[in-house]
Structure 1
Amino acid sequence: MLVVLLTVLALTVSVGSAAWAAEHTLRRTRQQTEFGRYAPWIHASGRSAAPLNWAANSRLLRALCERIPSVAFVSDVTDVVYVNYLVDADRIAPLIPPGLELQRIGERGDRAMLTFLTYHHGHLGPALLGRWRRLLPSHGRTDLLLDPGRGTAPDAEAHLIPLSKWPADGPWRQGFADYEQMPAYCVPQDRALSVQPWHGQVTRQEIALDIPLDSCVPLTGPVISTVAGAITGNAEPFTFLVPRVTFRFERQERTRL
């Protein structure tokens, strides 16, 4: 019995030491950033905060999860609120990782659009479940009030009401000739991009939204966000609502830098 216990202890120490060494080695190449994928993540509070913080910020766990094959997901998303800013392109260009290029808009190409949005998922789950996906939970209605507490989540508070028709003027004028051009540019998203310079690759997560532009409802009202303000400066927000959309994550692909 003692031999078994000593063997288990030795194995535990060996695995723990290897994991510790791998974690510190990976942190030299996957360094912490102020924004984006490798910005520090801190849980707001609670007894589970410490282990969750460790797991979320572990470079080793992320490296292992990169090996897991991607699975197509579907969600019946509702109440999507887009909060948009047209920002001085030179202000946010330093946030773009090497390997990607900032898309500039406006007559002089000196503007860039920054958007954050809030929504709630409905029966988010693997597409292969088919109709059985309906058995998965749906989150309740989400108001646009994001309170990070002591965590690192972004803050936002907005009090918005719908407009009866698309507005004739607004902050979007800095980049678009008319209002219809704005959602036509903003809404047709078909991928999320991230760069892994340690692998010399760009990861593309291909998604499908298929949002009809005539379903976009313009909103008006104040938006307050300290985190967004630090990025956008004095840019004025403009908002719209997409009441319902079927979100599909289809596949993940990688290309060389």
Structure 2
Amino acid sequence: MPYDNAFVHPSASLAGRLANRIVSNRPLLRARRALLSRLPFLQLASDVENVVYCTWVVDVAAVATLVPRGVTLANRDGRTLFTTLTYAHRHFGPSIAGPLRRVFPSPLQSNWRLYLDALPGGTPVNGTVLFVKNVFDHPLYALGSRLFSDALPSHLAQRFTHTVQGDRYDTLLSGGGGSAPDLCCTAQVTEDRTLPDAFAPFFDGWREAVAFLSLQHAAIARVEDCGRLVYALIDLPINIDLVRPLQTTGPVGGGDFLARIGVTGEPFCFVVPKVAFRVLSERLL
């Protein structure tokens, strides 16, 4: 089945149908690119909290439709890594706003990604991921990122919670009638830093796995309406010493999307308590 990342609002109301038409309007997207390509990139900043990473080992063949032509995934013997990371922003807005950034909202976001070995043409990459899904709980950010950015193929969740109670992290993401994928996960902080057996072909230990999965400096995404790739530079200075291992305390649930790509079993989980996040640039390749 061809990969479809089109935006569908979770509400079938007039407002929802209007949002669908606006974010898929190709002349509007082309005009935005023509205008913004002539202006300096407006860097974005947020102080994100409670970043919960859940990673599975999946078959490369199962995610093949998600991967743009010419892009090579990091893999071992036909297996690769797929991660969801879910977190709370604190005042996500333009860096140039400085202290006035506090007036911007603090949405929840879930980013779903694969890890790359090479870009088209065989160019090797290090610390670069492929964004396949991005989900917000706030319509301003879901619609705004679709209209003003090519790097975030965003969706709006019908229901999205990401809460912390002591050492327990609860995440629930539901697309309802829209295009956002589903996910539910409850995980508890643990002191166990044992690397799951499935990850042994990729890493020598827990710390190496955490560093690879979290220390990223760039991302690409497929831009559906123009058939190109977008390349974004990000700054995510995570202190590995502060990362805490998590253990799921119940089944991790997902919907059709996770089932289609072969996500099964217990994920490898950890949490980054907080980190300053920056989007530095983006450009079409």
TM-score with structure 1 setting the length: 0.76
Look up the match of 1:51. 18
SS at match of 2:210: helix
SS at match of 1:42: coil
Per the alignment, do residues 48 and 205 of structure 1 end up closer, same or farther by CA in structure 2, a change over 3 Å counting?
same
Look up the match of 1:142. 162
Look up the match of 2:67. 96
Identity level (%): 28
Q: Does 1:225 align with 2:254?
A: yes
Aligned amino acid, residue 63 of structure 1: R
* Contact kept? 1:87, 1:235, Cα under 8 Å: no
Q: Does 1:203 align with 2:230?
A: yes
- The size of the alignment, in residue pairs, is 218
Give the strand-richer structure, 1 or 2. 2
Q: What CA distance in whole angstroms lies between the structure 2 residues aligned with 1:196 and 1:224?
A: 29
* Contact kept? 1:171, 1:237, Cα under 8 Å: no
Q: What CA distance in whole angstroms lies between the structure 2 residues aligned with 1:195 and 1:138?
A: 26
- CA deviation digits over 1:193-252, x for unaligned, max 9? 134598685421100001011222111113111222221244642211111011100112
Q: What CA distance in whole angstroms lies between the structure 1 residues aligned with 2:195 and 2:238?
A: 22
Look up the match of 1:4. none
Can you give the 5+ residue segments of structure 2 that lack an aligned partner in the other structure? Answer: 109-160, 164-170
Following TM superposition, the consecutive aligned residue runs of length 4 or more in structure 1 with deviations greater than 4 angstroms are: 195-201
Q: What CA distance in whole angstroms lies between the structure 1 residues aligned with 2:211 and 2:241?
A: 10
Look up the match of 2:81. 113
Q: What CA distance in whole angstroms lies between the structure 2 residues aligned with 1:191 and 1:153?
A: 23
Per the alignment, do residues 241 and 93 of structure 1 end up closer, same or farther by CA in structure 2, a change over 3 Å counting?
same
Q: What CA distance in whole angstroms lies between the structure 1 residues aligned with 2:64 and 2:107?
A: 35
Q: CA deviation at 1:160?
A: 0.8
Q: What CA distance in whole angstroms lies between the structure 2 residues aligned with 1:234 and 1:196?
A: 28
1:79 to 50, 53, 66: 50
Look up the match of 2:31. 64
1:162 to 182, 186, 189: 189
SS at match of 2:100: helix
Give the helix-richer structure, 1 or 2. 1
* Contact kept? 1:83, 1:117, Cα under 8 Å: yes
Measured on the aligned residues, the alpha-carbon RMSD in Å equals 2.5
- CA deviation digits over 1:152-202, x for unaligned, max 9? 101001111111241254543342221112112111111121345986854
Can you give the 5+ residue segments of structure 1 that lack an aligned partner in the other structure? Answer: 1-31
Look up the match of 1:23. none
Q: What CA distance in whole angstroms lies between the structure 2 residues aligned with 1:206 and 1:230?
A: 29
